[in-house]
């Protein structure tokens, strides 16, 4: 098991904790605080190892002066610049080896680096890579790995969906009582008039379902 580069199974919890620290950074961060906040259940120690590794808290869990200064920066670009320096300092050997390209290294190269450096297993090396990628994304240098993205609200629709034009209903061939087709010139026939009342507040999906039902049950039945 690696004892140098920390990791967590899912990066989403790490992002949640970092987001919270930007809003409110407690003077002391420990497992009890994370449990009260509802973050990283049963993974508190992994998150604390990462936060401690990038020097946001010290060995006792106390908030560091640098951590407080960086996480109270309101301007996004200023925060990303300062947070980048924290990450670069923590992963100094990786950046010494790859320079600024370390931010965007592919997963294969990162896994190789972590496994060779820490003699970690494939699973741990993969998680170390996911953790670094999540920190790189938070610093504004890369796309967030799967599971670490922040949830974005969907924009409200600008207006009601317009229904499709009502299709012309073709009259099916008239049938005799025994079910065989009957010529239109015969004197006996049956005409069915269908009236469809569309709901005023219906959306596009509602109209599509109505016409689909008409086709399946009346026209093609």
In the chain, where are the structural domains located?
Answer: 11-138, 157-221
Instruction: Look at residue 162 and tell me whether its pLDDT is greater than 60.
Output: no
Of 138, 136, 114, 141, residue with least CA distance to 127: 114
3-class state of residue 187 by DSSP = coil
pLDDT bin (cut points 50, 70, 90) of residue 153 is very low
Question: What is the phi/psi pair of residue 125, to 5°?
Answer: -60, -40
The pTM of the full predicted model, rounded to 2 decimals, is: 0.64
Q: Could you give the CA distance from residue 14 to residue 166 in angstroms, rounded to a whole number?
A: 52
The mean of the pLDDT values for the chain is 81
pLDDT score of 164: 46
pLDDT bin (cut points 50, 70, 90) of residue 108 is very high
**Mean pLDDT to the nearest integer, 101-111:** 96
Reported as a single tens digit per residue, the pLDDT across 180-201 is 555 555 555 566 666 666 666 6
pLDDT score of 40: 86
pLDDT bin (cut points 50, 70, 90) of residue 7 is very high
pLDDT bin (cut points 50, 70, 90) of residue 157 is very low
State how far the alpha carbon of 55 is from the alpha carbons of 2, 11, 35, 51, 92, in Å: 19, 18, 21, 6, 13
Instruction: Look at residue 171 and tell me whether its pLDDT is greater than 60.
Output: no
Instruction: Look at residue 114 and tell me whether its pLDDT is greater than 80.
Output: yes
Whether 38 contacts 73, CB under 8 Å: no
State how far the alpha carbon of 152 is from the alpha carbons of 61, 79, 143, in Å: 31, 20, 15
212 or 96, higher pLDDT = 96
Question: What is the phi/psi pair of residue 144, to 5°?
Answer: -70, 140
Q: Helices marked H in 91-216 — which ranges?
A: 92-98, 107-118, 122-138, 204-214
pLDDT score of 166: 43
Q: Could you give the CA distance from residue 97 to residue 116 in angstroms, rounded to a whole number?
A: 13
**Mean pLDDT to the nearest integer, 118-140:** 96
pLDDT score of 154: 38
Instruction: Look at residue 61 and tell me whether its pLDDT is greater than 50.
Output: yes
């Amino acid at each position: 098991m690696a004892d140098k580069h920390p990791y967590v199974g899912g990066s989403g919890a790490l992002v949640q904790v970092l987001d919270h620290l930007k809003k409110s950074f407690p003077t002391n961060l420990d497992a009890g605080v994370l449990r009260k906040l509802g973050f990283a259940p049963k993974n508190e120690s992994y998150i604390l190892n990462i936060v401690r590794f990038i020097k946001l808290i010290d060995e006792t869990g106390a908030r560091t002066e640098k951590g407080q200064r960086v996480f109270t920066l309101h301007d996004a670009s200023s925060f990303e610049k300062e947070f980048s320096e924290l990450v670069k300092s923590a992963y100094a050997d990786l950046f010494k080896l790859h320079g600024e390209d370390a931010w965007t290294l592919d997963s294969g190269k990162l896994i190789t680096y972590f496994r060779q450096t820490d003699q970690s297993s494939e699973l741990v090396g993969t998680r170390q890579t996911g953790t670094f990628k999540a920190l790189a994304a938070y610093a504004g240098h890369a796309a967030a790995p799967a599971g670490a993205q922040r949830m974005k609200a969907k924009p409200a629709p600008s207006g009601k969906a317009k229904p499709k034009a009502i299709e012309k209903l073709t009259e099916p061939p008239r049938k005799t009582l025994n079910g065989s087709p009957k010529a239109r010139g015969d004197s006996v026939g049956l005409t069915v008039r269908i009236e469809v009342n569309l709901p005023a507040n219906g959306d596009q999906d509602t109209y599509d379902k109505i016409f689909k039902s008409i086709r399946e049950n009346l026209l093609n039945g």
